[in-house]
Structure 1
Amino acid sequence: MKKVLWLFLAALFLVGCGSGEEKKVQDLEFTVVPERQVPEELAKVIQEKKGEAFQLTYSEPQQMYLVVGYGRQDCGGYSIQVKECYLTETSLVLDTELTGPKETAASGEEPSYPYIVLKTEARDEPVIFR
């Protein structure tokens, strides 16, 4: 009986610790930065990378920018939703999602390069993009 109990407890421990995900400590406040307010140096990097999907951070003394780009899309009308932006005990997590154009919307025939820039206070934690 003791052996079964220990196996059960060991299995319970592995399930609880094996996910590799840390728990949210707090939501992180952020601002979505309009294209015209993106720092010039960061805007150049975005232009260089926008053809492919990318994720990057850019830091200044008092603030940090989190950028997620979804690469070239065949048309316009896409939007990016911030699903979560939060702190764990050891990292900052940003989860975004690209949503396609609505069928009724005029999305044009020109390709687009959707990306989002978030600004938050400067932090030292590593960033995990999802």
Structure 2
Amino acid sequence: MTRNIKTCVIIVGWIAVMGILGGCAVEKEDEGKVRDLEFTVVSQEEQPDALRDVIGEKKEKPFQISYTRGEDLYIAVGYGEQESSGYSISVNELFETENTIVIDTTLIGPQTSEQAAQVASYPYVVIKTEGIADKTVEFR
């Protein structure tokens, strides 16, 4: 009789574990993606003065800023103080979902063959897209 109870407990345990694992799902990151967005990288001279001022205040620490002017949406991503020069930022994706604009960026370090100046730098990128000023920006 005890053997039957042990067998039942083991079977019930496995069923419970399989039920828990079966309930787990991986959500697709780009679910709800409506379309990719076109953008331009904006030089410091082309940035609106108000945005440039905010970046100047925040550049020492990582930051994520969205700024609208008329129909233009500016998105700025900064990676804070770095110990040397030679960093760049890659915009991996910029796309629209039903309710948001999603931006994904990566900080790329100096090449090993590159002679990076050992002076602090504050890498950031500012991009501009048009006609999407009314949506929340999600940073990845």
Shorter-chain TM range is 0.7 to 0.9
CA positional deviation for 1:106: 1.5
User: For 1:52-91, what aligned pairs fall within 5 Å after superposition?
Assistant: 52-91=61-100
Percent of paired sites with the same residue: 45
Structure 2 residue 107 is matched with structure 1 residue 98:
yes
| Matched residue, 2:7 | none
Name stretches of at least 5 consecutive residues in structure 2 with no aligned partner. 1-18
Give the secondary-structure state (helix, strand or coil) at the position aligned to 1:72: coil
Structure 2 counterpart of 1:127, from 116, 132, 137: 137
| Partner of residue 108 from structure 1, selected from 102, 117, 129 | 117
1:49 is aligned, of 43, 58, 66, to 58
Runs of 4+ in 1 over 4 A off after TM superposition: none
Q: Structure 1 CA distance, aligned partners of 2:113 and 2:28?
A: 41
Q: Give the corresponding residue for 2:27.
A: 19
Q: Determine which structure has more spread, i.e. the larger CA radius of gyration.
A: 2
Is structure 2 residue 121 aligned with structure 1 residue 117? no
CA distance in 1: counterparts of 2:101 and 2:89, whole angstroms:
19
CA distance in 2 between partners of 1:30 and 1:38 (Å): 14
Contact 2:70 2:133 in 1 (8 A): no
Unaligned residue ranges in structure 1 (runs of 5+): 1-7
Over the aligned positions, Cα root-mean-square deviation in angstroms equals 2.0
TM-score of the two chains, using structure 2 as the length reference: 0.78
* SS in structure 2 at match of 1:25: strand
- Quote how far apart the aligned CAs of 1:89 are: 1.4
Structure 1 counterpart of 2:39, from 30, 35, 40: 30
Size of the alignment, in residue pairs? 120
1:20 Cα deviation from its structure 2 partner? 7.6
Deviation at 1:23, TM superposition (A): 2.7
